[in-house]
Structure 1
Amino acid sequence: GVNLWGVIYGVHYFVPLMLQHGEASHIVNTASMAGLTSGGNMAPYHVSKHGVVTLSEGLFHEFRQMGAHVNVSVLCPGWVDTK
């Protein structure tokens, strides 16, 4: 759903503009601690957040190899009790 595809669509739209612009740019994607761990009863959520982390890390390395001036970070906030 939107957890992963929202990030994919955002990157798909903005990265070409950043590369064309040629100046230093920074992408900050938001995942969660679920992108760094796994646990029961929430597998689809963990999968989507792991996808955001992996996409972000992959783009970081691809831009470095290209010599592009686009940096990538992924924010992984901790758990929040929403009761």
Structure 2
Amino acid sequence: MSVAERAKAIYESELRKRMEREHPQQFIAIEPESHAFFLGSSFIDAAMKVKEAFPDRKAFVLRVGHEAAFHIGAASR
């Protein structure tokens, strides 16, 4: 399983309900090996926090309450 898949699984099974209730619209970086997570008001804020804690591990960042960290392009109608 990829880092992204593992992190998304942790988010779904352990974090989604609480994060969406307590931290909507924030970014969450998840390090899947430890299940550690870090919140930030921006993508780079969350990414830097996880990188500082785990400099040699890969992590995944997503936006709380969204399917992706970023949406590119206009929404279709």
Which interval holds the TM-score relative to the shorter structure?
A: 0.3 to 0.5
Name which structure has the greater RCO, CA cutoff 8 Å, separation 6+: 1
Which structure is higher in helix share? 1
Structure 1 length-normalised TM: 0.32
